Each structure stands twice: as structure tokens, then as C-alpha cells.
Amino acid sequence: MAPVKKKAQKKTVPGILKMFAEGEKIAVLTAYDYSLARLIDDVGIDIALVGDSVGTVVSGYDTTLPVTLEEMIYHTRAVVRACRQALVVTDMPFLSYQVDSGDARRNAGRLVKEGGSEAVKLEGGENIADTVRSIVAMDIPVMGHIGLTPQSFHRMGGYRVQGKGAEQARQLVADARAIDAAGAFALVLEGVPATLAEEISAAVSIPTIGIGAGPACSGQVLVLHDILGLCEKYSPRFVKKFADVSGPIRAGIESYIQEVKGGAFPGPEHSF
């Protein structure tokens, strides 16, 4: 008899915190659509992040700023339908939480109610701590995100490593503490020196999830398309290509074009 495949247990926020407490590293990848979310879920990713990087990766914008709440709800629904075991976290897009906390609570609630997300992610530190607290008070788990925050593209003058100087580093530690104190369950550290990420990880009580933040974080997150070599536009230094699938995809599509043009496809086995 074939061995019965053990059904993976659904990951939850308490489950992620248990992993952290037990010293197990947390593996996070972005997901925006059903097919790829099925794949990452099936192989055991811990958290599927419906990132607003969907704007740059999938929609071709230069920044994440144009992404709307409706688009995030749409992509979240697809990912939620695919994920049987991963925890699904959705980014709150620019302008969905910065104006006032009433707006932020309603929009976080829409991502949970209409999208089916299990937690939301907000970019910012001390400046958004009250907003984080108010969303957490609605029983919506919040993941923070500090350092290189892509929604701050214009303030930063581009995608630049943050926290290099002493004053910036001090501010980032204060931001991390504020997000921790506001009740977030995890904190993304993006584009900060590895030593600072280590200092921040030691200064907070919640797991830190690094992206371009060195090995001391409690987990790592990367953009799925980056690790598969599907993002031909640009590739930051912190990305490791774990596979390069753009070559086989191109070759497959070229064969399809040739067979259609040459009349080899469809053959009798593909016809009724």
C-alpha cells in the first residue's frame, strides 16, 4: 500500500511564535497568484506574503506606490485559495493606512474579511505605532516592516540601504521597539547592515524577518520571482537565485511558436 501523505498542519500566528521560541528559522516568500502560491505552500513555506511588490514584479510599475487596496484584496483571495498550510500575510498598500487610523482599521479589516488574509503588514516605525496598536486591538495580527521601506521611495531617494549612520541606526532600534510595544507579532527588517539587524533582533521580543539584513534574523523573506530568476529587470545584491527558470520558460514558448507556425501543433493526440 502506498504511504499516506501526512496532511501538513495549518500555520497560525501562535504557531509562528512557537517556531521562534524554539529557535526554528522562519521561511517566508511572496506570492501573488494561485498557481505559484500552490507550489510554495505544497513544499512547506511558513508564511506566504502577498507583498505590494506585486506592483513592480507583476504589474511592471517602477515603485509599489500605485498599488491599490482592491488589487491587494484580489491577489490575497487567489493566494488564500491556494494555501492549505502557510500563514497568509498581506501588505497594506500606500495610502491605505497612513492618513488616519480609522481608515487603517477599516482597510486592514477588508483585507481579512474580503481577502481572507490572516495578518497584515505595514511599513514604518514610531510614526505608525499607534495605528499598529489600533489594528492589533481589532484582533488582526500585524507584521511590521522597517529599514528600507519601499513605500518611502521618494524620501529615501531610491532603494538604498538604511541605518548606516549612527543616528539612523539609533532611530531604527527605536522604531523596532515601538512596533514591538504596539503588539506586532513579527517585524521585517529590509536593507539594513547585518550588525544592526543583529542588534535590533536582540532588542525586540518578536521574530525579525530579514531581507538584505544578514543571517542573525529569526527568518528570511525574498520575492519569489527573484529567487526563480523571473525578474529580469533588476536583481539586488541580497537576492540569491535558487533556480533560473526563465531559460526553460523561454525555450518552451519558442517551441510552441515554432510548432504553431510550422503546423506541428496541435497533433492528432491534442484534437477531438
Catalytic residue chosen out of the listed positions 24, 190, 198, 269: 190
**Residue 257, C-alpha cell as written in the block:** 511558436
Name the H helices within the chain.
Answer: 13-21, 34-42, 54-57, 69-82, 101-113, 129-136, 153-156, 166-181, 194-203, 224-227, 246-262
Q: In the complex, what is the shortest distance from the CB of residue 160 to ligand KIV, in angstroms, rounded to a whole number?
A: 16
Q: Nearer Cβ to ligand KIV, position 34 or 247?
A: 34
Give the residue, chosen from 179, 223, 228, 231, that forms a contact with ligand KIV under the rule CB under 6 A.
Answer: 223
Q: In the complex, what is the shortest distance from the CB of residue 90 to ligand KIV, in angstroms, rounded to a whole number?
A: 10
Q: Nearer Cβ to ligand KIV, position 7 or 61?
A: 61
User: For the chain, percent helix, then strand, then coil, each to nearest 5?
Assistant: 45, 15, 45
| 190 is known as an active-site residue | yes
- By CB under 6 A, is residue 211 in contact with ligand KIV? yes
Q: Nearer Cβ to ligand KIV, position 80 or 221?
A: 221
Between the two ends of the chain, the Cα-to-Cα distance in Å is 36
Give the residue, chosen from 26, 80, 187, 221, that forms a contact with ligand KIV under the rule CB under 6 A.
Answer: 221
- By CB under 6 A, is residue 53 in contact with ligand KIV? yes
- By CB under 6 A, is residue 188 in contact with ligand KIV? yes
Give the residue, chosen from 52, 118, 175, 180, that forms a contact with ligand KIV under the rule CB under 6 A.
Answer: 52
- By CB under 6 A, is residue 30 in contact with ligand KIV? yes
- Of 241, 252, 160, 176, whose CA–CA distance to 208 is shortest? 176
Q: Nearer Cβ to ligand KIV, position 20 or 94?
A: 94
- Of 187, 127, 191, 189, whose CA–CA distance to 159 is shortest? 191
Helix (H) or strand (E) holding 144: strand 142-147
- Of 119, 144, 146, whose CA–CA distance to 131 is shortest? 144
Per DSSP, the three-state class of 50 is strand
The interface with ligand KIV within residues 73-132 (CB under 6 A) comprises 91
How big is the chain, counted in residues? Answer: 272
Catalytic site residues?
190
Q: Which residues bind ligand KIV (CB under 6 A)?
A: 30, 49, 51-53, 91, 145, 188, 190, 211, 221, 223
